Amino acid sequence: MIVADGNMMEAMEHRFLLWNLDLDPLQPTQEHILEMALVEAKELEAAKKKSAENRKLIFNRAKQYSKEYEQKENEVIQLKREAKLKGGFYVEPEAKLFVRELIYKRGYGKLHKQRIALTDNPVIEQALGKHGIICTEDLIHEIMTVGPHFKEANNFLWPFKLKAPLGGLKKKRNHYVEGGDAGNRENYINEPIWRMN
């Protein structure tokens, strides 16, 4: 049996203690954990601030769009009244689909070649933010007014998947003019779209 002197035993004990105390390099230290928590808190605060600013901006834009749509409706009413007073009639511009209802109820977007439901404004902002379209109301406005970034907004939207019309179809083989359901309905397109939405 070999007996080691005291200095050698102390050195071995010290090395053994240090070996046990050595931290795994992949495990974060307490200071690192606190630092990460501080960074996350700052990022969360910045995200909250940006979200609050975006909400105010979105609200103001929606109010502006609402005023614009109301002004256009009033203009059409005024033009109809003027035409009626002159003994003529006013032909409205081409009928618009239920764009707002379709996008809110059945809207999906293309994001990284995947079909994503338009449930959140950040989805729209991530895809079209570089064009100034940051919310659903911006997207609807761009589509309805055929704005400068209509092509990008239209390409972002996934084709709508409508259900079968409520109440069914009358005669799908006959043209609409002949009393059927096929063909161009012109101004009356909103009714079947509403039934299929």
**Each residue of 56-87: pLDDT tens digit?**
999 999 999 999 989 988 999 999 999 999 99
Host domain of residue 172: 162-197
Q: What are the pLDDT digits (tens) for 28-52?
A: 678 888 888 899 999 999 999 998 9
**Cα 32 to chain centroid, rounded:** 36
Is the residue at 129 inside a domain? no
Q: CA 94 → CA 60, 84, 169, 189, distances in Å?
A: 28, 20, 24, 11
Q: Is residue 131 part of a domain?
A: no
In a domain, 181, yes or no: yes
- Any domain includes 174: yes
- CA 3 from chain center: how many Å? 77
The answer to the question of residue 188 being in a domain is yes
Q: What is the domain count for the chain?
A: 1
Angle at 127 between CA 55 and CA 57, to 5 degrees: 15
Q: Is 190 inside a domain boundary?
A: yes
Taking the CA atoms of 94, 163, 100 and 126 in sequence, report the sign of the dihedral they define: negative
Mean pLDDT of all residues belonging to the chain = 83
Is the C-alpha dihedral spanning 183, 184, 188, 190 positive or negative? positive
- Is residue 45 included in any domain, yes or no? no
Amino acid identity of residue 72, one-letter, is K
Q: Is residue 187 part of a domain?
A: yes
Q: What pLDDT shows up at residue 11?
A: 64
